[in-house]
Structures are given as C-alpha cells and as structure tokens.
Structure 1
C-alpha cells in the first residue's frame, strides 16, 4: 500500500505528467514528493482515491489537454506508444508559441525524439528518455540511480531534469534498427524473465510444494549471470541439458503428459536453450542434432 502525503519543497521546474499508467503514476508520485508536480492529464484518474490525493496537494487533475490552463516547464508523455504522435500534435495545437523553451520528454523505448518533431518546431527541447526499470510496484527510491536511455539534440537540458529525480542519463544515437534491438533486449530482460518465473511457478503448482523455496535459486542464478554480464557469450548453465542428460529431460516431459500446454512450453524453453548453447559453442553441431533428434517424439 502506498502512503501519500508528501511535504512540498522548492523546485525550479514544475512538471506535467500525461498518462497515468505504471510509469506515469510513479513519476507523478516522485514529483509530488519533490513538490514540483503541476498537473496530471489522464482520462482514467478522475474521482479515484489517487485523484483526490493529488487534488488535495493542489495538483491539477484533468482529463484532456484542453483543460490545462497553462503549460509547465517540463512535460513527461507516458501514454501508450500509439498515442504519442496524437499527444504531440494536440500539445502543439493547444499551446503553440507557449511551448518555446519547454522540455518535453516521451518515455517510450520504441521511438526516438523524432516523433516529437512538431514540438521541436514550436521551440521545445524534446527527447526520448526511456527508463530501464519496471514500475509494477512503486517505492520511494524506485528512480534512484536507474539508467535512462536518452535520444535528443538537447542532452544537457534533459540530463538536468532526469538527474533531479535521481536518474543516470545515457545519451544514444540509435537508428531505427538499433532502437528496436535495444527495446527488444529490455523487454526480454524484464517482461520475458517474468514469463519464465511464472512458468516455473505453474510447474511447481502441479504438486503440493511451496514455490517460495525456489527464490534463493532464482536469486543466485541472476547473481551468476551478473558476474560477466558484459560478455555476450557467458552462460553459467548447469543442469540436464548441458550434461546431455536426455533421460532426465524425457522424465520431465512424461510427467507433463496430462498438461500438454505446460509440456509444450517446457519444450520451447528447451529448444531456445539448445539453440543458444549451439550458438555459443557449449554444444557442437553434432551434439545439438543428436539431442534434437531424440526429442523429436515431442515435436521439438
């Protein structure tokens, strides 16, 4: 549970948050804590408990950009990716010349600062700034020392804003392909890691056993990977696949005969692991083919 009621403090910039998803909410709470939150634009905040809390702290809570009486020094766009171009267009139409020298940041990992070109023409300092963090749960220190991947022609301006909330900005110049690869890596590092952990919990749920027993194993596995994390081919893999212990793998699969959906997911993870082991030469091509051949009965 989040406890609200932050003390206001002096700050040189006031901030508007557009969009109130996980990131928008976290940014709103952080800037409320620092005393520089001017407004939140969200069609869903309305008369919620959060909305009432912000209004009690003299924060404007509005549904549409048209309802804002003025433009703040800094605007964070935290909407869905598909909505960013429309938000930028609406800002330009709503505020026009008043946007000159304002800082406008979108937080999508998928798009560069070019998507805010209309606002740049209006005289704003624009940027793409993607925080490398997950915001499923808010905590007071969640922005401390996290990396923000920033693409902009105004890095010093953007850097100042992000450092004031505890961030560490990293400037990049990605082309479209590089940005897509970067964002795919972020998605795998967080979203798909969640998927893997959920699958482990789904497996253990088939028997009467407390899944929390696995937490130290997961933690140690992550720590093992961090040891040489900058080395793209480092894989601290143990277990039956790397030992080529196919009898054990087959026992795993047979135990899931009554749960074909779980069996198929297990096979997919095994296949991914085999492909990567071949790629980094933990397995030779012949060893890879031999294992795949023996598991063909399960349509790997």
Structure 2
C-alpha cells in the first residue's frame, strides 16, 4: 500500500486523511501542521499516522498531500524540495484556485505533481467524512500522479473530473458564480421586495418557490430553456423601466441589474437559436 504524508490538517486535510486511511487507499504515515500539538490533535479524527515535528522529520512517502492555504502552497513545496528525496514520489495540493504548476519546484526534482479539489463545503468535517461519497473532485496534473490518485479517489467514493490546468482560475470562478454571487443576487431580490413594502420574512417566502423552481429548471432543462421574464420575451421597454427604477432606489443594485442585462440577452439569443 502506498504511504501518504499530510501537510496541513485543517478540515480538508483531516477529512481526506481519514477517508484515505479508512478505505485503504493509502497508508497515512506522517502528519505535519504548524505545531506538533495541532498535528497530534488531528490524529484521532484521521485515525492513523504520526505527528511530525517539522519538515526535516517527515519520512519519505510515496504520496504527499498539501492541504494548506493557497498562500502556503508555494512555501510548503519549497520546504519539501529543500529536503530532497522527492524523485519518484507524487505531490498534490487541494486548492480550487491554483493549478499544479505551483508545485514546479518538486517537479524539477523528479516528483509527479497534481491538484485535487473536492467541490463541496468542509464546514463540518465529521458530516463531510460521513457523506463524502459522490463528491466531485476537479483534478489536473502529471499523468503519473493522476494514475495513482484517481484510483485512490474512487476508493473513497469521489467522482474525479479532469479540468484544464490553464483555466484553473476560471474553474474556481465557476463556484463563485454558482454559490457566492448567487447569494448576492438573491440579497438584491429580497431587499427589492422590502423596498416595495414587503416585510423581510414574507419576502423570503415569496422568493423561495420562485428560486427553487428556477434552479430546478436550470438543472433539468438547461439555462436556455429555464430563462423566463422580460428579456426572454424581448420586452426591453420593461427592462429599461426596471433598470431606471432600481437605480433610483439603490445605486449598487441598479449597477448589478444593468450588468446582468447584456449576458441575459445573450442567453436569450442562445435560447432562440436552440
């Protein structure tokens, strides 16, 4: 069984370490965090491994996982490279925003490198570990690294999805559109209802079925067929009235409304051409 060292044992590192160990995909060997105490504290959750007191104390492993913050990937890779003994091993990080090229220092020493990004929230590690099966993971990197990592991911119930390393930042932005910016748009909708005199609690009740049905239609029918409303009908007179009214009510929301007109019109054209 291939051995695995874990550098960084926050929520992601703990969950993946636990799953890899429990499934037998890897034998968890050493766990390194910012302090020996925090590494020791992670071991009961992971269920395997030994706490390492520093990079110099890490034993050679077949695979090393960097489950650290994006700003620490480069320094962690450099520290591993300074210790040598990377030739013939696999090194991967778990960032959604950065590509495997961040590990170039290890690749130069003969390591095969990759990135594995689990596409879900890790706010509750115990729950994620229990319900991880079916989780999509965006993967990219060297063929030798992926040849070892893909079977390990399948063993823990993940669904690996190859992505283009050159478009990694755009890939990560997709999650921002699907999650973060969706919240921003819904906030504007709820505030607009309140501006029309609807109490906040009632505004949520009004919006929820509309939002749920729209999202369900996007994933059932596709964005083109799910689109409805004045732009889909070509009623740009209404759009212009709304744009001006929203801008008068709240300048920021007006700018957001206006910014969405052109891409929505493009989507409507795709709908007509579909």
Shorter-chain TM-score category? 0.7 to 0.9
Matched residues in 1 for 2:132 and 2:102: separation? 27
Residue 113 of structure 2, aligned match among 113, 117, 126? 126
Q: CA deviation at 1:91?
A: 0.8
Seen in structure 2, the aligned counterparts of structure 1 residues 219 and 13 have a Cα distance that, compared at 3 Å, is farther
**1:19 aligned partner:** 8
If asked which structure has higher relative contact order (CA below 8 Å, sep 6+), I would say: 2
Change (3 A) 1:146 1:70: same
More helix by share: 2
Gaps of 5+ in 1: 1-11, 258-262, 284-300
Q: CA deviation at 1:200?
A: 4.8
Give secondary structure in 2 for the equivalent of 1:111: coil
Moved more, 16-25 or 160-169: 16-25
Q: Does 1:267 align with 2:254?
A: yes
Counterpart of 2:153? 162
More displaced 10-residue stretch of structure 1: 243-252 or 151-160: 243-252
User: How many residues matched?
Assistant: 257
Write the mapping of 1:121-200 to structure 2, written as runs, cut at 5 A. 121-138=108-125, 139=128, 140-154=130-144, 155-175=146-166, 178-200=167-189
CA displacement at 1:145 relative to structure 2: 4.5
The answer to whether residue 214 in structure 2 is matched with residue 221 in structure 1 is yes
**What TM-score comes out, normalization by structure 2 length?**
0.73
Q: Deviations over 1:150-203 (max 9, x none)?
A: 23232322322222222232334543xx33333322332233234334555666
Partner-residue secondary structure (3-state), 2:224: coil
Q: Given the alignment, which residue of 69, 91, 103 partners 2:90?
A: 103
Normalised by the size of structure 1, how large is the TM-score? 0.67
Note the 1:33-52 alignment, pairs <5 A. Answer: 33-34=22-23, 36-43=27-34, 46=37, 51=42
- Where structure 2 has 5 or more consecutive residues not aligned to the other structure, the ranges are none
